[in-house]
């Protein structure tokens, strides 16, 4: 059974996705914080950096946003790097322009913005200034891909771009056209708002975390959407009704006295998820370490000694670890470069099987991931799109004394 569980608290809203009772995705949005990704701003150029081919844009936040030349070029020029003009020919100090946030500010850096605008809907992503049609790679059947491309061509105007989402499989042209019409209206509202204000100003704010997850993940494969707040449940029913009325009856109000995350055994799973050492069912374990540059995962056999020879023990542990690593990367919402140090394997077939296991499991992740492959040192490289701080940073704060290192000076050195 697949369930989406929503806890509405005074300080935050938390959402969990369960598959047969196992936690596979978790998100949290604090009431005091504002999500920037997806939102549109009218910004003002405050500094142009020719040496970096980038510019700083004032969008009204504490830190100025960062705009790379690749993110403000016409899409047709991106594939021809030699034709990239200098940033000074595209932007000037004091210029006002519409930008969309593509990456949250974190680590002392401002948000990253773009002028390649996109508005996501239930069935498609609308790109108002890109002459392009794409179909989700998760739609594998060629006949369905071609059908959806034809529908996209039928509903778009010249110079408009469309990316068909996975949930659009089997949908009619009417459903796609309705989605497209709504997104066109949103873009028109952004343009009109930009004419009425001076920079810096917010033009359009993206939907809440709960609405976003429901829009993107609440499909007919999900059996229940359980919410512990009646008012929010009614709002979610109204929202779901705008794109799929058949799913409304699956929205359930949770009324028991026992906290909803305890009732569905989410609390205990969350506690284990964010430990530096996470145990595998076999007795092996993973060690997670993060730096500004990358995340490293070390695989160990631990308590597991196997039942036959060493190679089989190592292979079994690595196979189990590959599946768990893919799940926890998604659950922790880790972005950027990820390096996995699996236990050394002599067999090329075993190495291939572990790689395939990881690739197969990581396909379930809705965030863009790429399993790069094995390095010459036998490490496995993964990249995952990074748009915000990982979940752990939103749930915990670093110790002000040790800054999160968890170490102290030995007593002998203190004397």
Least confident piece of the model among 28-42, 56-70, 190-204, 218-232: 28-42
More confident residue, 396 or 213: 213
DSSP state of 247: G
Kindly report the CATH number assigned to the domain that includes residue 17. 3.30.420.40
Say if residue 102 is in the same domain as residue 126.
Answer: no
Tally of domains in the chain: 4
Torsion, CA 215, CA 216, CA 218, CA 221, rounded to 10 = 150
400 part of a folded domain? no
286 part of a folded domain? yes
303's tokens: 């308590």
**Where residue 413 falls among pLDDT bands split at 50, 70, 90?**
very low
Alpha helices (H) in 203-298, listed in sequence order: 209-217, 230-241, 260-263, 266-273
More confident residue, 75 or 189: 189
Tell me: pLDDT of 187 over 90.
yes
Q: Domain end: 147, 181, 199, which one?
A: 199
Say if residue 290 is in the same domain as residue 387.
Answer: yes
Q: By three-state DSSP, how is residue 45 classified?
A: strand
Say if residue 74 is in the same domain as residue 180.
Answer: no
> What is the overall mean pLDDT for the chain?
87
Please write the tens of the pLDDT for every residue from 251-275: 999 999 999 999 999 988 888 888 8
355 part of a folded domain? yes
More confident residue, 306 or 294: 294
188 part of a folded domain? yes
Say if residue 294 is in the same domain as residue 323.
Answer: yes
* Residue 26 belongs to domain spanning: 2-34+208-267
Kindly report the CATH number assigned to the domain that includes residue 81. 2.40.50.140
Say if residue 365 is in the same domain as residue 378.
Answer: yes
pLDDT of residue 108: 78
Please write the tens of the pLDDT for every residue from 105-116: 877 789 999 999
User: What is the average per-residue pLDDT within 331-338?
Assistant: 90
Say if residue 282 is in the same domain as residue 251.
Answer: no
341 part of a folded domain? yes
pLDDT of residue 306: 60
Looking at the chain, the number of H-run helices and the number of E-run strands are 10, 21
Question: Hey, CA dihedral for 335, 337, 341, 345, is it positive or negative?
Answer: positive
């Amino acid at each position: 059974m697949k369930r989406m569980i929503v806890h509405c608290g005074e300080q935050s809203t938390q959402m969990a996705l369960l598959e047969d009772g196992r936690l596979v995705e978790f998100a949290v949005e604090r009431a005091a914080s504002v999500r920037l990704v997806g939102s549109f701003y009218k910004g003002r150029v405050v500094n142009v950096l020719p040496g970096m081919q980038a510019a700083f844009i004032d969008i009204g936040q504490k830190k100025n946003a960062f705009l790379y030349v690749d993110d403000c070029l016409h899409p047709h020029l991106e594939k021809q790097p030699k034709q990239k003009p200098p940033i000074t020919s595209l932007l000037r100090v004091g210029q006002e322009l519409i930008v969309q946030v593509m990456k949250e500010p974190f680590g002392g850096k401002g948000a990253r913005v773009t002028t390649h605008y996109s508005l996501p809907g239930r069935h498609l992503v609308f790109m108002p200034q890109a002459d392009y049609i794409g179909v989700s790679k998760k739609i594998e059947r060629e006949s369905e891909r071609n059908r959806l491309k034809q529908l996209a061509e039928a509903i778009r105007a010249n110079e408009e771009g469309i990316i068909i989402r996975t949930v659009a499989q089997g949908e009619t042209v009417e459903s796609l056209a309705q989605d497209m019409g709504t997104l066109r209206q949103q873009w028109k509202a952004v343009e009109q708002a930009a004419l009425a204000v001076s920079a810096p100003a917010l033009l359009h704010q993206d939907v809440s975390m709960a609405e976003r997850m429901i829009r993107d993940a609440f499909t007919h494969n999900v059996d229940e959407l359980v919410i512990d707040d009646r008012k929010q449940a009614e709002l979610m029913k109204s929202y779901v009704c705008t794109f799929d009325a058949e799913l409304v009856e699956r929205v359930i109000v949770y009324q028991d006295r026992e906290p909803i995350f305890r009732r569905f055994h989410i609390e205990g799973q969350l506690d284990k998820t964010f430990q530096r050492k996470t145990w595998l069912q076999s007795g092996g374990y993973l060690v997670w370490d993060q730096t500004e540059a990358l995340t490293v995962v070390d695989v160990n056999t631990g308590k597991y000694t196997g039942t036959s020879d060493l190679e089989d023990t190592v292979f079994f542990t690595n196979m189990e670890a590959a599946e768990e690593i893919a799940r926890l990367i998604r659950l922790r919402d880790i972005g950027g470069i990820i390096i996995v140090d699996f236990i050394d394997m002599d067999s090329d077939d075993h190495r291939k099987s572990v790689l395939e296991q990881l690739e197969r499991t990581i396909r379930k992740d809705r965030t863009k991931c790429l399993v790069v492959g094995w390095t010459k040192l036998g490490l496995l490289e993964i990249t995952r799109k990074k748009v915000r701080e990982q979940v752990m940073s939103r749930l915990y704060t670093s110790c002000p004394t040790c800054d999160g290192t968890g170490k102290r000076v030995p007593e002998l050195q203190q004397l």
